[in-house]
Amino acid sequence: MSSSLRFDRGHTDDLMAFLMAAPSPYHAVAAAAARLEKAGFRQVEETEAWDGSLGGKYVLRGGAIVAWYVPEGAGAHTPFRIVGAHTDSPNLRVKPLPDTGAYGWRQVAVEVYGGTLLNTWLDRDLGLAGRLSLRDGTHRLVNIDRPLLRVPQLAVHLDRSANPEGLKLDRQKHMQPIWGLGEVEEGDLIRFVAEAAGVDPAEVTGWDLMPHAVEAPAYLGRDRELVAGPRMDNLLSVHAATAALAAVSAQPDAELPYIPVLAAFDHEENGSQSDTGADGPLLGTVLERSVFARGGSYEDRARAFAGSVCLSSDTGHAVHPNYAERHDPTHHPVVNGGPILKVNVNMRYATDGGGRAVFAEACEKAGVPWQTFVSNNSMPCGTTIGPITAARHGIRTVDIGVAILSMHSARELCGADDPYLLANSLTAFLAG
């Protein structure tokens, strides 16, 4: 690492606060927007006409946010530098008819969202968060951040095979949390949540609610060199990208040859196919409207997109000391070793040689070390919003991230230095 770069514990402290403030994608974009507002950004509505004014702006749609900063001197064909991320995490989601139970236990009916590690949700104190949709068409955020729910594991005395043979969980039968005692009452959960949100239950017409672990993020290890916490996949990247965009917007405009952009999408964990997902039109629409609002033509739009680059920032796999054989034998990313460049020749990641050069240059400018991740040929490779962004918008995209352990667990593990290193590399990239 360059001697000019010193680990800033304050950045990781702020990440931990961000994780606590963002138990759902809707809270995540609200927390990101609040940070951007402090940096001088202002919200614009999609249903209103946009002007070509300079400065920072952002759009909120559900659990997604797209923010951009137009510096003085930017032309209609000025390319974009984009950091893409996602706000959702694998978890449990409340069903439309949530009130259930048996044998004197009151339970909440939930559906499994994304590829979560089911066992990590067992025997945890869980809160409940998300949004309520009201009769007048508005939404109300709600966060019951106290022990409310629990998915109890079957005692080992009643499942003697759990340890020698491995725990087997049925997604339908075994994952319904308990939240009280007594007879099941239809509408009881939503009445309780509505009252916690300060709204009349009769005004609630829909909901997007999800349990979350209430245990706070924490430094871990002999020298506190690790961080354990929820939703690092992928709020770690959302937080770093928000900090980077705010930092770049504070630089002199003359130093910005590109228009820096943050694009944080929902629904990455189940395929990105929604109006707030990366496979939807949101990013392309926002970028096009920005070009046209500054007096640009379709030709300007084409020129801007052709010169643009996106870093798709998502967590990746650090080498696991107990399962090293699952990793590629010559690529072993380590925590606190700096961000990782993700490569897959079958385009599960969008990185190519030219994209590698862009990322390497940003890290060099920031004085940040970086690593490379490649999957073991015998293991299936995951994917990200990177290939989707590249294919949908024709924008060169590079897949990067931070190496972690316990990905898709209710509580993941990263190096305490890496969030700051990622934010520095993203700042250098956005600044050009």
In this prediction, residues 285-313 reach a mean pLDDT of: 97
Q: Residue 164: which pLDDT band, with cuts at 50, 70 and 90?
A: confident
> Which residues touch 281 (CB under 8 Å, ≥6 apart)?
275
Helix 282-293 crosses helix 298-306 at what angle (to 10 degrees)? 120
DSSP-derived pairing of the beta strands 105-113 and 91-102: antiparallel
Residue type, 371: Q
* pLDDT tens readout for residues 366-381: 999 999 999 999 989 9
Res 8 pLDDT > 70: no
Output phi, psi for 208, to 5 deg.
-130, 95
Residues 289, 286: Cα–Cα separation, whole Å: 5
Residue-wise pLDDT tens digits, 108-119: 999 999 999 999
Nearest partner of 366 among 297, 301, 311, judged by Cα: 311
**pLDDT over 80 at 176, yes or no:** yes
Percentage of the chain beyond pLDDT 70 is 98
Per DSSP bridges, beta strands 126-134 and 226-229 are: unpaired
**In the predicted model, is pLDDT for residue 5 greater than 50?**
no
Distance from C-alpha of 235 to C-alpha of 205, rounded to nearest angstrom: 29
**pLDDT value for 162:** 85
pLDDT band at 163 (very low <50, low <70, confident <90, very high): confident
